[in-house]
């Protein structure tokens, strides 16, 4: 099911901009207003369910933290497992980590070593709310592949096309974005 122009507008209009957050010059895309708009959220989730129900996925992996919201809901709708990709130090069992560069330093994401129940070639969809420069998503994609899962596609609600982060992630899997900005 592709989204109509009207549905895309409904979703887009339900996301508010917060200027100068978290620092001056940044326009933060606040999805909390999408989440509390039951019509817009339902349109989005119906679209994602329709898109991915034929992919024969084993898991949805969501990136910390807003990817958890969409990923867990989608996994439930698809009747499959959900796997969190967390910031370093947040997972309790044995993990593998991937470091990535930020504009002001480095950060790391991690995943449980047995996140996909040691199922080699588990078919995984990775999801997050937004892709900008692609650092976090690129690192998360590497992690999923490092634990021998098959990263089928990477999905973002918003893609800030002018930053070209999607190109970095496309080295690992196809990228789908609901809305391109």
Active site residues: 66, 103
Cα separation, 153 vs 133, in Å, equals: 18
- Nearest 5°: phi and psi at 72? -65, -40
Longest Cα–Cα distance of the chain, Å, equals 45
Round to whole Å and give the CA distance between 26 and 30: 12
Could you give the CA distance from residue 17 to residue 56 in angstroms, rounded to a whole number? 35
Picking from 42, 35, 43, the residue whose alpha carbon sits closest to that of residue 5 is 43
């Amino acid at each position: 099911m592709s989204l109509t122009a009207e549905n895309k507008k409904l979703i887009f209009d339900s996301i508010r901009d917060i200027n100068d957050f978290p620092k001056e010059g940044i326009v933060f895309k606040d999805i909390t207003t999408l989440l509390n708009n039951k019509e817009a959220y339902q349109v989005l989730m119906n679209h994602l369910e329709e898109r991915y129900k034929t992919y024969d996925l084993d898991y949805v992996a969501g990136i910390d933290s807003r990817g958890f919201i969409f990923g867990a809901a989608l996994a439930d709708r698809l009747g499959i497992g959900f796997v969190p990709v967390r910031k370093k130090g947040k997972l309790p069992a044995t993990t593998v980590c991937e470091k990535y560069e930020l504009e002001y330093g480095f950060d790391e994401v991690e995943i449980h070593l047995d996140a996909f129940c040691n199922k080699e070639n588990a078919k995984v969809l990775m999801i997050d709310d937004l892709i900008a420069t692609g650092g976090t998503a690129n690192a998360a994609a590497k992690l999923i592949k490092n634990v021998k899962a098959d990263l089928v596609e990477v999905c973002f609600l918003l893609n800030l096309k002018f930053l070209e982060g999607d190109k970095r992630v496309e080295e690992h899997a196809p990228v789908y974005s609901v809305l391109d900005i």
